[in-house]
Amino acid sequence: MKIFHLSTECYPVAKVGGLADVVGALPKYQNKIKGIEAKVVMPFYNKPFVKDHDFETVFDGWIHQGGNLLQVQVLKERTNVLEFELYMVRIPGLLDRDNPYGYQDESFQFLAFQHGLLHWLTAMQIRPDVLHCHDYHTGLVPFMIAHCPEFSFLKGVKTVGTIHNGEYQGLMSWGMANYFPAFDQYKWGLLDWDGVINPLACMIKCVDAFTTVSEGYLQELFESFKGLEILVRDEHYKAHGIINGIDTEVWNPETDPMLDFNFTKKDVVIKKKQNKAKLCKEYGLNPDLPLFGFIGRFATEKGVDLLPDTVWKSIQQNYGGLNIMILGSGNTTIENRLAELSYSFSNFALDLGYKEYLSHKIYASADFLLMPSRVEPCGLNQMYAMRYGTVPVVSYTGGLRDTVKDISTGGAGINFAHAGVDDILHAIHRCLSIYYKKDSMQSLIQANMNFDFAWEKSAEKYINLYKN
């Protein structure tokens, strides 16, 4: 079975969030299953990975996007260093930029990517068994192969869509239809939702099956989905919740090259203290105090707007009896507020931006990981934390609800009901009471490391979905 994963992100090539981690791991684990050949197709970026690896051009052609004639090149990584075939679609001026997102012409970008990759598959007579479309950026592919005569060669190929984050739907005006490859005009309703072209809605309508990245998130979409609640209810027979896994080869505290001190379940307590001491020294924190970490994008869906007040009040209320470290970037207002606090409190460390190596160090050093998300379709950070013996402190939503159970119900994490400052502060107080109970804390560390979030089970579920 040949599966092509279509995505704008893939770790370690280009990463903005969890989408990259999933697309960088899922095909790798699918390829461990007999008879499966999984590949990834993504846009070309000016990233270190591209410069550091050897690529060959396997296709060079042209497409029309409205009145524009665009060159389409497909480059293949020669060595399969990622344990799957990696293809990158390059279109000069559109798909040759530094970053996946943040450009004024994103609609043109993503449309050209989808058009270009389908043109390549059609021209080279490459017919996969499954096209797996990740998020709205590839959400028009199922429509195009069914209703664009140019891609009739691909008609009938099974399509699966995964909703990683339903907050982003890729809305575009109907004027953009002029740039589409020619399609059956009678099918325009499949593109439309509430008077605009909605690629995510189109994906849900046109795929053979769609998934969410946790069962809990699927249930939430039936009630709250940025206007698509009715659609997902109507298409419920195609819906499946499959929890993400983590790449346990990359995220392995025993072998992780980004850690100062590697560890196993046997020596986790001692080695975490050593990692913590090193990190605290680098950032001017007291290693004898409990360390709370936060890693993520500064977006309101992540509850990051709650962090400035949480930092200030938790340090004040506990008389400086804890450390907080935050790694991330995004909303400049929040960045500025946190930067001001970092000058005011010696117990608070802030590193703006995203550094992969530092995220690994925080997971290995922190005692607790804060995730005050309002929306969390799956969440991977809590799984990374647990793998590294760090106690997750999470809001009771989406995938966090599926993966983290509270200590009061026999779990190994701390839950709080609502994403609000008072709820977070209460959770922090619970953490502090546990931290100084040596036996309880060590038991929690061990319990978290015993959880198995490896991709194998989820990879099998996707294969079964493709077959049915």
Write out the chain's pLDDT in tens, 468 residues: 999 999 999 999 999 988 999 999 999 999 999 999 999 999 999 999 999 999 999 999 999 999 899 999 999 999 999 999 999 999 999 999 999 999 999 999 999 999 999 999 999 999 999 999 999 999 999 999 999 999 999 999 999 999 999 999 999 999 999 999 999 999 999 999 999 999 999 999 999 999 999 999 999 999 999 999 999 999 999 999 999 999 999 999 999 999 999 999 999 999 999 999 999 999 999 999 999 999 999 999 999 999 999 999 999 999 999 999 999 999 999 999 999 999 999 999 999 998 999 999 999 999 999 999 999 999 999 999 999 999 999 999 999 999 999 999 999 999 999 999 999 999 999 999 999 999 999 999 999 999 999 999 999 999 999 998
Domain residue extents for the chain? 2-247+456-467, 268-449
Environment class of residue 225 by beta-carbon count within 10 Å: exposed (0-12), middle (13-18) or buried (19+)? buried
Architecture of domain 268-449: 3-Layer(aba) Sandwich (3.40)
Distance CA 6, CA 8 (A): 7
The CATH number that domain 2-247+456-467 falls under is 3.40.50.2000
Tokens of 214: 């946790």
Tokens of 312: 């200030």
